[in-house]
Amino acid sequence: MSQTKTTDMTPVINLTRVSGTGPKRSQRPVYKDHLPPCNSACPAGENIQAWMAHVQAGQYLAAWEALVRDNPMPAVHGRVCYHPCESHCNREELDSAVSIHAVERFLGDLALESGWTLPIDTAPSGKRVLIIGAGPCGLSAAYHLTRLGHVVEIHDAGELPGGMLHFGIPAYRMPRDILMREITRIEQLGVKIVLNHRVEDVLAEKQAGLFDAVLVATGAQLSRHVDIPERDAAKVLDAVSLLKNAETRGTTLLGRRVVVYGGGNTAMDAARTARRLGATDTLIVYRRDHAHMGAHDFESDEALAEGVKIKWLTTIREIDGTNLKVELMELDKDGKPQPTGKTETLQTDAVILALGQNADSGFLKKIPAIQFQPDGSMVIGANMMTDEPGVFGAGDLVPGERSVTIATGQGKKAAKHIDAWLNNVSCTAIDKHPTVTFSMLKLLIYSDADPKKQSELAPNTRTGSFDEVMFGLSQRDAFQEAQRCLSCGNCFECDNCLAACPETAIIKKTIEPGYTIDLNRCTGCAVCFDQCPCHAIEMVAEPAVTSAAQAL
């Protein structure tokens, strides 16, 4: 099921039903690899189908090794990734998507339990790379650069590594022991992490450490603020500070009544954290409606299950002591919220602002060549390098969507570009195979196993602690969930083509996986094409009739 580069460029003449060709063959079957939609949608660039195939075979170490070629922290991502791979899974059209994140978490946890480690793939290059920021992007880049043979050192201002993984995602979603164990495995490859070290002058740091290149991956940890008139205001703090204080100090006095202002995933985390810090009446105030909410549905569902309330189409106008003046909004014809002039007064002991984050890039302005966007994000080129030679940028610091998995994928991409620059070569993108859609599949055979669900703590028991809410799959359940993968676009040797061929023209290989076609026997009838459940076969025009076919 792994992706193999296909060089056959013969034109495809049909992607659906192809009938027989008569006495003279005008088409022939060709085995081709395609891109599964899960692989295509993964921000970390994981070859999901490849490691899922190893799980299907019970080869868990091989599955983990295939997974961490792209993502060094599967136990982390199996918990915190918003798994866009699953929303693109073709199985969703059949019954429900494969629970890819749950199987990934199983592999990550199994690796930690088993003490699996990885060797460095390449001989030492003699090059040194400085990474500023020990968040998901920086850790990913350090891992990949180390495996490429470079010496890597990470400098981070925090007292613990992980960045927003450690200080922005609550422990009930990301247990700290799991996070630290996966970071430790990266350190064991030789990555040096220097904590409590704020970089103020990048070029001076580069020169002092004799680094050949620098990657700036400091993330976006500055909370956005909004001008709200305050008179003898109640406790007002930003969500990032709340989450960090809850992590480092354990207790934060908020009071009984807490209002969270915002509608993203951080707002949901802040509200759920407030509940765990003792707030009995927690309300999210959001200026838009549910359909336009920034948070994922499952995040808001979990918040609601834990007793958090949400007041839609409402914005804060003024804070006066414990009185919170809010204005009701209504949607215009374009779906945008507009003020109505109608106000209410709410009672609150604390207001938490969860309005998003900006990049803290002020220290980079000492380098005249580096350019910035109005929001403070750093401008980089196609090779992820700034206009200052040898200084690269990635993750939440550069323009684009923001998530842990996107940052991890950016770290891998940056590592490839840095490696290419250090070797004075260009890093060229590899052409991807076409993505397989559900309509291209012919599901004559597939596993009809019921999807395996992760168990979780009962909602009424969650807010008493920061214990992890979601549990992992057992080995048996992970194995059965992997069986639900349809292997879209890539041969998994089901033998359908072998059994269906009326001319016995298909021959199973004995040493390597797959099949060959005896063209002396093949009539081009396309029965193999019709019997392939995953669209690993295409019918292509015979070279002799290509011109005629194009003329039609």
Instruction: At 480, list the tokens.
Output: 């059965």
Measured between alpha carbons, how far is residue 75 from residues 185, 219, 410, 522 in Å?
12, 21, 19, 48
Rounded to whole angstroms, how far apart are CA atoms 5 and 326? 58
Q: Residue 122: what are its φ and ψ, rounded to 5°?
A: -125, 150
Instruction: At 4, list the tokens.
Output: 């193999």
Rounded to whole angstroms, how far apart are CA atoms 119 and 309? 49
Please give the single-letter amino acid code of residue 488: C
Q: For 274, left (φ over 0), alpha (ψ -120 to 50), or beta?
A: alpha
Measured between alpha carbons, how far is residue 353 from residues 104, 233, 460 in Å?
33, 14, 26
Are 349 and 334 in contact by the 8 Å Cβ rule? The answer is no
> Which structural domains are found in the chain, ordered by start?
12-33+490-551 (3.30.70.20), 39-117+458-482 (no CATH), 128-222+358-422 (3.50.50.60), 226-354 (3.50.50.60)
Measured between alpha carbons, how far is residue 281 from residues 59, 66, 171, 255 in Å?
49, 46, 21, 9
Rounded to whole angstroms, how far apart are CA atoms 235 and 181? 36
H helix and E strand count, the chain: 19, 21
Instruction: At 212, list the tokens.
Output: 């050949």
Measured between alpha carbons, how far is residue 80 from residues 62, 87, 143, 227, 232 in Å?
23, 15, 19, 32, 38
Q: Which residues contact residue 286 at a Cβ distance below 8 angstroms, ignoring those fewer than 6 apart?
A: 261, 262, 263, 267, 293, 310, 311, 312, 313, 314
User: Dihedral through CA 535, CA 537, CA 542, CA 546, nearest 10?
Assistant: 20
Among the listed residues 454, 456, 451, the one whose alpha carbon sits nearest the alpha carbon of residue 474: 454
Are 271 and 261 in contact by the 8 Å Cβ rule? The answer is no
Among the listed residues 166, 236, 227, 226, the one whose alpha carbon sits nearest the alpha carbon of residue 195: 166
| Buried/exposed 170-179: b ≥16 CB within 10 Å, e otherwise | bbbbbbeebb
Q: Residue 183: what are its φ and ψ, rounded to 5°?
A: -65, -40
Rounded to whole angstroms, how far apart are CA atoms 156 and 192? 11
Among the listed residues 53, 72, 221, 39, the one whose alpha carbon sits nearest the alpha carbon of residue 142: 72
**pLDDT of the chain, 552 residues: tens digit per residue:** 434 333 344 444 444 444 445 567 889 999 999 999 999 999 999 999 999 999 999 999 999 999 999 999 999 999 999 999 999 999 999 899 999 999 999 999 999 999 999 878 789 999 999 999 999 999 999 999 999 999 999 999 999 999 989 888 999 999 999 999 999 999 999 999 999 999 999 999 999 999 999 999 998 777 777 777 766 666 888 898 899 888 876 666 788 999 999 999 999 999 999 999 999 999 999 999 998 898 999 999 999 999 999 999 999 999 888 899 999 999 998 889 999 999 999 999 999 999 888 778 888 988 999 999 887 888 999 999 999 999 999 988 888 888 999 999 999 999 999 999 999 998 887 888 889 999 999 987 677 778 899 999 999 999 999 999 999 999 999 999 999 999 999 998 999 999 999 999 999 999 888 999 999 999 999 999 999 999 999 999 988 644 444 444
Q: Residue 462: what are its φ and ψ, rounded to 5°?
A: -75, -40
Instruction: Please tell me the pTM assigned to this model.
Output: 0.88
pLDDT at 399: 81
Kind of pairing between the strands at 213-216 and 128-132: parallel
Q: Find residue 537's DSSP bridge partners.
A: 31
Residues in the chain: 552
Residues 71, 76, 79, 81: is their CA dihedral positive or negative? negative
